[in-house]
Structure 1
């Protein structure tokens, strides 16, 4: 009977010869052999701490914390910078905008850096924890800061921390979740994102009004403390796989073809594999940074464009809707805040959308989302005066826009990971031992940040120069232009055989009818 080894243990060469990559001795209720060959005691409750559900919960919590703390300060800044930093009343709006932009700048610059670091380190847990340390430092600066300079540094550090969450955190999740469940897991993360965006500003405003400035940050530190405990408890996927005891059998051995090449034993599969070209161009391509290779992959570029689009649409509405409802309906800030509920609430169906994406692919979900958005964006132009019917129509239209965004968010997040997996299958070893998942999510962060920064500028300019009706038409046209590349490249380039298969299925269905 074969020794009990990890799933990567492989038998090669002469009978009885085995390559240990890695293999744990068959002992073993309380100890385990690490990758370095050391015998260590198994961590307490390691199965639960490395379970898919716990890992998804920890990543979702980190996303919630990040967005909650981002939104927590939004209603506080206008008052705090005037009272604490001594900013003149007429300059408050300018500095509030700069502080909000500083977050995006920190995110934009640091995301590629942390993506590269995460793919080069042996594990993702410590960078993940380090991100929360940065968030704690940022929160301390925002809490104690009594000058614009300190507040700016704190806000930039918040953006850097967000970069860690959205690169290392999502890569951490992808490493630990089966490929066929990535969409559903990303849906849960999307719900956490929406909760943070929804709850943060509300609690920030209420607590500031009732308890004052320091009460707001006391709440923030409690949340950070809880989050850091979770991040320290979690056990990442690779460590968990080394802890799991499985018996090697012939079927498992035959399912792992790659070690035959490593030992120089020519297997049948090696004969069928064409030799790699050793041209100067091939060597040049191999030396390119992983990010360049990623950006050459149309499937990933399409996913990045989808990320940019959903960020741009959301940010455009955040910039223009409050002004629109004030001018059209005469609403105050409370109404301007509540009107976003029809857009945000549909995102709570993201786990279901993610599950559909896992089962049927991301293409139908994302394509349907952009197609659905087109007519309802155009129809927003019909709301042009104050009445109960107009308010109802406006809310219904925004609800359908929210549904369209919900169809996009989770599948796009999962598509980033699937695109990298597809590229690694086509070019094995191109990204080295650490892969390129974190760097791909760093690019996704950059796309999101560009959309979040560019959306308000574009929407604000069009709304000011041409009006609300032109703005909604332009947004609809951009969505329409996005449909074609999304349909072609999402899930892998659409092939003629796919269209032929679809036609055959339709003909078969008509014949049966």
Structure 2
């Protein structure tokens, strides 16, 4: 895909390197990742009981373990994946490898007739999905102007939600109508299409680079800014400037990356926002099905429709909230989102509490619960990409102050690995926290605890996150690289 002569361009270069096509590739990659995460759920009973002969009494426990291990693998592998991806000279190769790994994991799941093979397939699938997420967002940042990052992230979040919604639905429908192997074949075919799109994609950052000269700022600019980041090594930039091997530069930047990043209060706040956001989402998935079953007598169909009401608004509101973040920064959306979420979380728990007037009539209680879930589905879009955007803005600002501080390939993959790690942490913490609290103090009080957490995080976000002024460098960074 890379070429050395500016006179000869690959076939279809214009559309293959276009921003819309690159965004489409990343959107489909992340759609596939969330699609596969939930795709296994309707098939698990057949995998476990019919093919692996798991006793019926153990199926619920093994199902929980298989769903939890995905988030645990993301926690363990995120930082290593980010480190390796930032050392690669191309984003395309890590993306293809990530999807190939996901393909192997999915195939292993489908073929396994031993329980250890099912767990192995899920682990491999988790590594591939995590890598696709990290490298996908890094590619997105390389390919679009900073002022459009929020809109692009919001659009992609819509695809992510669509994948989460359609994965279990498609798997259940195909399993019922066509059988086991055709069902798995659809997932494998989606991965093949994804890999083909990745092969067609031409990275903008590569095709815009003149191979004969380093893609670094002038030496005079480096000397002027060399002391702006206390304690940061300048050797990484100097080694690139002197055409030393990239591996050495990457090694040097690795030693200082996390020290510099974690010294930023905005980074710590962004990670807290990301953990809290995914904790809330995981808590909904853990507690809502059981609550509506015992409180309202709802089965799988109305419960599934309830989750459509929770996830569906992202398709509409995601790009709009992304536009809002592009205009005002992350502080206002995060603050508004978390402070608005608090009363909604309380109402979610209070919908069927008899001491409140709306709960005395069952139909009124049900309507209150449904309306609250849908409203939460809209509000959470204000929070969905706050961590990712804030981390990106911080890295852009540090790179602008001291060019090359994170090595010749930048630090975006490592940055998004932190975002992925924090999100995965919430996916693990959410079920444990909400499940334990619901059992010990009840669903209503559990939601009150989550509401208090939401108010606390909203206050912290207002205090430390960047506002409109933090976007200035973010919007200008790499402008010349991205423009045709």
Q: If the length of structure 2 is used for normalisation, what is the TM-score?
A: 0.86
Residues 65-464 of structure 1: pairs in structure 2 closer than 5 A: 65-242=32-209, 258-261=217-220, 273=224, 276=227, 288-348=255-315, 349-384=317-352, 387-464=362-439
Q: Gapped runs of 5+ residues in structure 2?
A: 235-251, 353-358, 471-484
CA deviation digits over 1:24-56, x for unaligned, max 9?
Answer: xxxxxxxx973xxx5673111112111111111
CA deviation digits over 1:62-119, x for unaligned, max 9?
Answer: 0111111111111111232111011111111111111112212222222111100111
- Report if the CA contact (8 A) 1:118-1:438 is conserved: yes
Task: State the 1:345 CA deviation.
Answer: 1.7
Task: State the 1:425 CA deviation.
Answer: 2.5
CA RMSD of aligned residues (A): 2.6
Task: State the 1:494 CA deviation.
Answer: 9.1
| Higher RCO (C-alpha 8 Å, min separation 6) | 2
Aligned residue number for residue 59 of structure 1: 26
After the TM superposition, which of the residue ranges 419-428 and 58-67 deviates more from structure 2?
419-428
- Report if the CA contact (8 A) 1:342-1:399 is conserved: yes
Q: Distance in 2 between matches of 1:94 and 1:66?
A: 24
Distance 1:136 1:277, change over 3 A: closer
After the TM superposition, which of the residue ranges 173-182 and 393-402 deviates more from structure 2?
393-402
Choose 1 or 2 for highest CA Rg.
1
- Report if the CA contact (8 A) 2:43-2:171 is conserved: yes
Distance 1:357 1:283, change over 3 A: closer
Q: Distance in 2 between matches of 1:224 and 1:491?
A: 37
* Match status 1:490 vs 2:470: no
Aligned residue number for residue 508 of structure 1: none
Q: Distance in 1 between matches of 2:351 and 2:342?
A: 16
* Count of aligned positions: 441
Of the three residues 433, 447, 465, the one matched with 1:472 is 447
Q: Distance in 2 between matches of 1:56 and 1:258?
A: 27
Task: State the 1:418 CA deviation.
Answer: 1.4
Task: State the 1:282 CA deviation.
Answer: 6.0
Give the 3-state SS of the residue equivalent to 2:312 in structure 1.
Answer: helix
- Report if the CA contact (8 A) 1:353-1:411 is conserved: no
- Report if the CA contact (8 A) 2:154-2:322 is conserved: yes
Task: State the 1:493 CA deviation.
Answer: 11
Task: State the 1:232 CA deviation.
Answer: 0.5
- Report if the CA contact (8 A) 2:274-2:386 is conserved: no
Q: If the length of structure 1 is used for normalisation, what is the TM-score?
A: 0.81
- Report if the CA contact (8 A) 2:22-2:201 is conserved: yes
Q: Gapped runs of 5+ residues in structure 1?
A: 1-31, 245-255, 263-268, 496-513
Q: Distance in 2 between matches of 1:277 and 1:239?
A: 28
- Report if the CA contact (8 A) 2:38-2:168 is conserved: yes
